[in-house]
Amino acid sequence: MHPLPLVLPLLLLCRGAEAGEIIGGTECKPHSRPYMAHLEILTPQNHLVSCGGFLIRRNFVLTAAHCAGRFIMVTLGAHNIRKKEDTWQKLEVIKQFPHPKYDDLTTRHDIMLLKLKEKANLTLAVGTLPLPPQFNFVPPGRMCRVAGWGRRQVHGAGSDTLQEVKLRLMDPQACRHYLAFDHNLQLCVGNPRKRKAAFKGDSGGPLLCAGVAQGIVSYGQKDAKPPAVFTRISHYRLWINEVLKEN
């Protein structure tokens, strides 16, 4: 099965009240997820698209490698991405570090670090999120949460406000229809019997299990039917630490 990266063209975000976010989710309490980053990306083809991401250091955001672009602007401290608040911090990305083994066709190693031009100010609305240790292999069955500004309906627009949904980690067998799925590198997320999912526009956002970022929204099916595939962060801790140390 060909993966569908969960990026969202920003043109869709501007069509007014067509509905649109995380599917089957609920609106987050404003600023209750202070690590969330909204990414506005200018692609090499000059299209504007959006992704999610999350702050892991004052000057570094973690996201998906398929969210790379010619230029990225990060907004921190946002709840409604259409209504500017005093809590907002807009920071330019000066360097993108997609994983060196990222493969566009299989969407494996779909992880990227973004270095910000300036350090974010840590406030009640802007904070960092802890990452799991290298050998922290989170097991199937665990209930986790994912947040984002992506679509609420398959054919809807993106959400103005940050949404979140509870999703279960599935046995790797549940993702066997994704031909490139690798349980060591990825997480299989979302009960196929439930209509809950991360979708377009949620790419790059964190999967939180017991307050720790265990996964990154990577790809799913065109009809948003769960499960979807998330990048397993613990597998990449050595690489993340190296990039942070050198920069």
Fold of 142-234: Thrombin, subunit H (2.40.10)
**Residue written as tokens 């608040």?**
85
Q: What is the pLDDT of residue 19?
A: 26
E strands, 20-85, are 26-27, 36-42, 48-57, 60-63, 71-76
In angstroms, the CA 175 to CA 190 distance is 10
Note the pLDDT tens digit of each residue in 78-126.
Answer: 999 999 999 999 999 999 999 999 998 889 999 999 999 999 999 999 9
66 is catalytic: yes
Q: Which of 110, 218, 234, 235 is catalytic?
A: 110
Q: Which of 31, 38, 50, 66 is catalytic?
A: 66
pLDDT band at 24, cuts 50/70/90? low
Equal fold, 34-128+237-246 vs 142-234: yes
Does residue 17 carry a pLDDT above 50? no
- Across 83-122, b (16+ Cβ under 10 Å) vs e yields eeeebbbebebeebbbbeebeeebbbbbbbbbbbeeebee
Question: Could you give the 3-state DSSP secondary structure of residue 237?
Answer: helix
What are the residue ranges spanned by the domains of the chain?
34-128+237-246, 142-234
- The tokens of 61 are what? 């955001």
Note the pLDDT tens digit of each residue in 189-218.
Answer: 998 887 655 655 578 999 999 999 999 999
203 is catalytic: yes
Q: Which of 203, 218, 234, 235 is catalytic?
A: 203
Average the pLDDT over each of 1-15, 156-170, 184-198, 230-244 and give the range with the smallest value. 1-15
Does residue 221 carry a pLDDT above 60? yes
Alpha-carbon distances of 113 from 18, 28, 176, 204, rounded to whole Å: 32, 25, 28, 10
Please tell us whether the domain made up of 34-128+237-246 is placed in CATH 3.60.21.10.
no
Q: What is the pLDDT of residue 76?
A: 98
Q: What is the pLDDT of residue 197?
A: 55
159 is catalytic: no
Q: What is the pLDDT of residue 196?
A: 58
